[in-house]
Structure 1
Amino acid sequence: MMNIAKKRTLLSKSLNLLVTTALISFTLTLVNSGTNNFSYFIWLRSWLVAFVVILFLSSILPQRITTLVTRFIDR
């Protein structure tokens, strides 16, 4: 069973990913399509793709980067 600190951390990271990917995908969709041709469907589809990719990468990349930095510094 998860303790309260782990639940808080998981919720905080999930909300951070949700908000960050939503803002970035909204901005990029708006910039690329313009205000006259903006479509919420296209934005939501872009947001979903971005969220899934970042969720996957955020579970793998930090460990890999830490390993690479450690190898680089220990040389």
Structure 2
Amino acid sequence: MATIGKSNADLTQLANEALRSQPGCETAQVVAVSARPHANAGRNWEIPNVVLGDSLISDVDRAVITVHHQLGRKFHLVGQE
């Protein structure tokens, strides 16, 4: 299955929306996504930092894994260095 290319800004926005829709993560925020070294396709990006807000770290940890897994199946990062 081919993935759809998205810019850093687009993937960050998608990750933010997906993260905030997860239970207990309404105040969490994805700062940015970044390219994974030596990955050229598929899940070639990651979510390195999240601002917790009032969310619990355990809720955010679980949600980030879920969001990255779900979005990683659909989108890849383009325009990376």
TM-score range (shorter-chain normalised) is 0.3 to 0.5
* Structure (1 or 2) with the greater strand fraction: 2
Q: Which has the higher contact order (CA 8 A, sep 6+)?
A: 2
Give the number of the structure whose alpha-carbon radius of gyration is greater: 1
TM-score normalized by structure 1?
Answer: 0.35
* Structure (1 or 2) with the greater helix fraction: 1
